[in-house]
Amino acid sequence: MELTEYTSPTPKTYRRLRLVSRILCVLVVLIACLTLIGWLVDLDFLKRRPDSVAMNPFTALGLIAAAIALYLRQERNLNRYNKQANMLAYFMIGLGALKLLVLVTGLNFPFDQILFSNELYESRFKITNSIPPNTAINFILLGSALIFINYETNGGRRPSQYLAILSSLLALISLYGYVYGISTLYTVTTYLPMTPQTAACFLFLSAGILFARPDKGSMAIVIGESSSQIIFMRFLALVLPLILGWLKLKGEEAGYYSKEAGTAMFAVLAYVFAMYLLARRSVLQHKIRETKRIAMDKIKENERRLQEILDHSGANISVKTTLGKYTLVNKHFEKDFGRTSGNILGKTDYDLFPKEIARELNQYDHQIIKTGQPASFEEKYLQQDGIHTYITVKFPLFTQDQKIYALGAVSTDITHRKKLEEELRISEERYALALHGTNDGLWDWDLNNNYLFLSTRWKQMLGYGAEEIPHTIEAWEGLIHPDDREKTLKVIEDYFEKKLPVYEVEFRMRHKDGSYRWMLDRGMAIWDEAEKPYRMVGYQTDLTERKRLEEELRKSHQRLFSILDNVGEGVIVVDKDGNLLIFNRQAEEILGTGAVNVPLEEWHHTYGFYKSEALTYFSLEENPLFKALKGETADNVEMLVKNSYFKEGKWIAVTGRPVIDIYNEVIAGVIVFREITQRKKLEKRFQENEKRLKLILTSIGEGVIIMNTEEQILLFNKKAEELLGTGPWDLPLKQWPGFYGIYEADGSTLFPAENLPLARALQGFAEEETEVLIRNKQFPEGRHIFLSGKPIRDNNGKITGAILDLKDITEQRKLEEYLKEIQDQFYELLNQQKPPR
């Protein structure tokens, strides 16, 4: 016998058994349908076997439901028709349970006699046809088996298979009863017997349920490692006694041999068949043992070869059980962890590694067991030279029934690679930060392959996405402005020919929106041994904003110089080193010469800066521009410009200011000056007039006081001092009545300060000859004064001060009193000389 007879059943064998299951379903439906047809058309041979009871119509319906439910429960229909199959199975259970309930309780509910009720009476048995009790039990068993066909216990057992086997035993007992003519095997007490067709259908359905899952539960044990031929022999051992017994009875009934001879023949044939099976089993056991020995030798050889392969691998390889115990490690594993396999096998990670590392490894193992899928992890192990990092691929190992029995792991030490990756990451971060900081676009040109790498930032500068510009030099050239293209290509050519030390060029490139942007392109090439460039790397910087700012600055400078040239004042700006930056047209006209770039120490000689006496030059320290460069300010410094252009001299007023940057440092100095020659002449004339006026005011016979709007006394002549009894004091007007002793004309009360003609004049009102009495230490008896006030206005009518005129009328008042006395005496004398009436 060939060795292949004892190999494990192939998927093809399982497919054949599942096919048998489906064929049996069809066969049961066919038998039941023929029975129903027999009832419909009243064909007795379709309903029953000769001399036996007919199959009940409800039994036929139950068998059809069972066959359809089993067909829907086939593995190829898994989870597709569960609902329909369950409904049919529950129908079978309900049919059987209802019948048993009626039989047990004695209820008068003949539901199984509804169909064909007029034809159900069995004259031979003198009873109406109904569902037998053993048939009802089989419906319950098979219906339950169909519901639990996919259920499996933790021990791998399938309850549905046990229910199917029990149902098949009940069916076989009935069939044996019919074969051997023993009615007690197919009849329950006084009830109708199970028909042979029904028993055959139950046997077919039971076999169909078992064959529907041939690789699960008890069927996996029954079939085991058997081939199709062995399976057939086991089936033959099951049915052969039934066939021999039937043949024995038929031979005896036909008179071929006596009952004793038939019994002897049956015994001899049974013995021969048993011996054949025993001999066959012995041969099979021997060949199986040989096969196992050969297989074990091959397994050991394969394990040795596998171990050698694993030991020569550069990676750590290990296998654990699902409980975490090591069952296999290679030499590399032993070397890395400094242990022999004898000290590793049978131990867990907690026995070999620190608790924290073992816990992490255990979590990874549980993830593989939970998902059933391979996965890679970074694991860290403590070794003699420190922590090592491994990239580990873990994967589950499955049994034939797809259960995980172990975990495999292949670990590669990537400590050095991780260090290099970290260094590379730091380098790339620096590189990225540098690129981000410069905001430049990177390009890399492979000249040999005409491949031009353009970074994302490079494309973004022109408004393009990452994949919108082809990586060719032609695409790059096509974006350059036509007016700049030839010049740019010439610079590249000269650089490749080493006529230029560096590659650097400015040009315009077309933006995605159609506009052109200014770019600064810089790069460096790498030459081969033949001095031929094969690679060039560089950066591109967007100069558009800088160009715009330069243009705006140029226009701003133009506007500034245009403004400065048209202002009425001279403006000179020098940097911190004294270099001229601005020297406007008005400065040239005022100084009589243009810009002369000489040191500041020579400015007074060059431009002729004199002091007011027109004899001494302005020193460097006194120069407002020098002070501005030192961070100081100078306001309205008057200089006399006297040179070959202005021999008689010209007066200017100079203001100097420092220019300070954001760091509070002086970066330039600026002076602004204007010609004041005419003003100086007017001031001189005014001073002369002022002297004359003061001389006149001093010599006139009336007092004069002049005050500005800040109540500061500008003039207080001698006559005013004589009339008030004291000179000027820096006092507000509201204190004048009390200080100078200014009273009302009757001398009874102080004169209100706000009504003083000087105060009124400062408010814009003119007051004429207001009489007051001056009484103080100098004039205890008092002096009568006329005060007259008038406001002083400038050319625009604005009040700039006031003038107070003081006139002594004391003698006038005395004379008036004297005349009044004389007049009073005269009137009295006249009154005395009048004659009485």
- Report how far residue 302's alpha carbon sits from residue 296's, in angstroms, rounded to the nearest whole number: 9
**Are 195 and 241 part of one and the same domain?**
no
Which pairs count as long-range contacts for 6-9, CB under 8 Å and 24+ apart, including other chains? Answer: 6/225, 6/226, 6/227, 6/230, 6/284, 6/287, 6/288, 6/291, 7/225, 7/227, 8/225, 9/214, 9/223, 9/225, 9/226, 9/227, 9/228, 9/231
**Are 257 and 393 part of one and the same domain?**
no
Helical ranges in 463-538 per DSSP H: 473-479, 482-496
Q: Which of the listed residues 681, 715, 735 is the one where a domain comes to its end?
A: 681
Share of the chain above pLDDT 90, in %: 11
Query: How do residues 705-730 score in pLDDT, each as one tens digit?
Result: 889 888 888 888 888 888 888 888 88
Query: How do residues 3-28 score in pLDDT, each as one tens digit?
Result: 334 445 567 777 888 888 889 999 99
Q: Count CA atoms within 13 Å of residue 629 on its CB side.
A: 16
Residues 6+ apart with CB under 8 A from 808: 723, 783, 784, 785
Tell me whether residue 572 is in a domain: yes
**Are 518 and 554 part of one and the same domain?**
no
Tell me whether residue 832 is in a domain: no
CATH number of 395's domain: 3.30.450.20
- Give me the residue label for tokens 């066919």: 30
Query: How do residues 313-355 score in pLDDT, each as one tens digit?
Result: 767 888 889 888 988 888 878 777 778 878 888 888 888 888 8
Structure tokens that stand for 270 in this block: 């049974």
Residues 6+ apart with CB under 8 A from 386: none
Give the dihedral of Cα atoms 115, 121, 127, 131; nearest 10 deg: -30
pLDDT of 1 > 60? The answer is no
Q: Quick one: average pLDDT of 630-650?
A: 85
355 vs 190, which has greater pLDDT? 355
Q: Is 398 helix (H, G, I), strand (E, B) or coil?
A: strand
What pLDDT, on the 0 to 100 scale, is given for residue 47? 78
Q: Which domain holds residue 538?
A: 439-542
339 vs 200, which has greater pLDDT? 200
Query: How do residues 776-803 score in pLDDT, each as one tens digit?
Result: 888 888 888 989 999 988 888 889 899 9
- Report how far residue 131's alpha carbon sits from residue 740's, in angstroms, rounded to the nearest whole number: 150
- Report how far residue 757's alpha carbon sits from residue 504's, in angstroms, rounded to the nearest whole number: 84
**Are 510 and 385 part of one and the same domain?**
no
What pLDDT, on the 0 to 100 scale, is given for residue 5? 41
Which amino acid is present at 409? A
**Are 66 and 196 part of one and the same domain?**
yes
What pLDDT, on the 0 to 100 scale, is given for residue 352? 80
**Total count of residues recorded for the chain:** 837
Q: Which of 262-271, 418-427, 681-690 has the lowest mean pLDDT?
A: 262-271
Residues 6+ apart with CB under 8 A from 67: 25, 26, 28, 29, 32, 205, 208
- Report how far residue 709's alpha carbon sits from residue 791's, in angstroms, rounded to the nearest whole number: 10
What pLDDT, on the 0 to 100 scale, is given for residue 479? 92
Rounded (10°) angle between helices 259-311 and 228-254: 180
pLDDT of 499 > 70? The answer is yes
pLDDT of 134 > 90? The answer is no
Tell me whether residue 585 is in a domain: yes
Q: Quick one: average pLDDT of 501-511?
A: 91
Helices H / strands E in the chain, number of each: 26, 24
Q: 837: pLDDT confidence band, cut at 50, 70 and 90?
A: low
**Are 202 and 74 part of one and the same domain?**
yes
Strands (DSSP E) found in 555-614: 570-575, 580-583, 609-610
CB-count burial class (<10 Å; 0-12, 13-18, 19+) for 69: buried
The distance between the two most distant Cα atoms of the chain, rounded to a whole number of Å, is: 222
What pLDDT, on the 0 to 100 scale, is given for residue 186? 64
Nearest to 408 by CA among 423, 421, 398, 420: 398
The answer to whether the CB of 191 falls within 8 A of the CB of 129 is: no
pLDDT of 76 > 80? The answer is no
Q: Which of the listed residues 250, 272, 307 is the one where a domain comes to its end?
A: 307
DSSP 606: I
What pLDDT, on the 0 to 100 scale, is given for residue 27? 93
What pLDDT, on the 0 to 100 scale, is given for residue 308? 74
The answer to whether the CB of 618 falls within 8 A of the CB of 611 is: yes
Q: How many domains does the structure of the chain reveal?
A: 6
Tell me whether residue 159 is in a domain: yes
Tell me whether residue 186 is in a domain: yes
What pLDDT, on the 0 to 100 scale, is given for residue 836? 56
Q: Which of the listed residues 216, 241, 275 is the one where a domain comes to its end?
A: 216
- Report how far residue 187's alpha carbon sits from residue 181's, in angstroms, rounded to the nearest whole number: 11
What pLDDT, on the 0 to 100 scale, is given for residue 4? 39
N- to C-terminal Cα distance for the chain? 202
Tell me whether residue 687 is in a domain: no
The answer to whether the CB of 262 falls within 8 A of the CB of 248 is: yes
Q: Count CA atoms within 13 Å of residue 712 on its CB side.
A: 4
Beta bridge partners of 525: 536
Q: Which of 68-77, 622-631, 644-653, 824-833 has the lowest mean pLDDT?
A: 824-833
- Report how far residue 590's alpha carbon sits from residue 645's, in angstroms, rounded to the nearest whole number: 10
Nearest to 652 by CA among 609, 698, 623, 620: 609
**Are 68 and 179 part of one and the same domain?**
yes
pLDDT of 440 > 90? The answer is no
> Rounded mean pLDDT of the chain?
81
What pLDDT, on the 0 to 100 scale, is given for residue 3? 37
Structure tokens that stand for 481 in this block: 């402005």
**Are 63 and 206 part of one and the same domain?**
yes
With vertex at residue 611, the alpha carbon angle to CA 605 and CA 616, rounded to the nearest 5 degrees, is 60
**Are 187 and 271 part of one and the same domain?**
no
What pLDDT, on the 0 to 100 scale, is given for residue 488? 92
Instruction: Kindly write down the DSSP assignment for every residue of 293-326, as one continuous string.
Output: HHHHHHHHHHHHHHHHHHHTSSSEEEEEETTS-E
With vertex at residue 535, the alpha carbon angle to CA 532 and CA 540, rounded to the nearest 5 degrees, is 130
The helix (run of H) or strand (run of E) holding residue 673 is strand 666-675
Nearest to 570 by CA among 554, 592, 555, 553: 592
- Report how far residue 657's alpha carbon sits from residue 647's, in angstroms, rounded to the nearest whole number: 29
Helical ranges in 42-56 per DSSP H: 44-47
- Report how far residue 5's alpha carbon sits from residue 14's, in angstroms, rounded to the nearest whole number: 15
71 CB neighbour count, 10 Å cutoff: 21
Helical ranges in 122-227 per DSSP H: 133-147, 159-180, 196-212, 217-223
Tell me whether residue 823 is in a domain: no
**Are 254 and 110 part of one and the same domain?**
no
What pLDDT, on the 0 to 100 scale, is given for residue 244? 67
Which amino acid is present at 802? A
Tell me whether residue 824 is in a domain: no
With vertex at residue 275, the alpha carbon angle to CA 273 and CA 277, rounded to the nearest 5 degrees, is 70
286 vs 412, which has greater pLDDT? 412
What pLDDT, on the 0 to 100 scale, is given for residue 791? 92
Helical ranges in 577-714 per DSSP H: 585-591, 603, 624-629, 677-699
**Are 48 and 191 part of one and the same domain?**
yes
pLDDT of 638 > 60? The answer is yes
149 vs 818, which has greater pLDDT? 149
Share of the chain above pLDDT 70, in %: 84
Nearest to 745 by CA among 674, 815, 810: 810
Render the burial of 272-282: b for 16+ CB within 10 Å, e for the rest: eeeeeeeeeee
The answer to whether the CB of 111 falls within 8 A of the CB of 98 is: yes
Render the burial of 460-488: b for 16+ CB within 10 Å, e for the rest: ebbebeeeebebeeeebeebbbeebeeeb
**Are 137 and 270 part of one and the same domain?**
no
- Report how far residue 323's alpha carbon sits from residue 822's, in angstroms, rounded to the nearest whole number: 151
Give the dihedral of Cα atoms 270, 274, 276, 280; nearest 10 deg: 160
Q: 513: pLDDT confidence band, cut at 50, 70 and 90?
A: very high
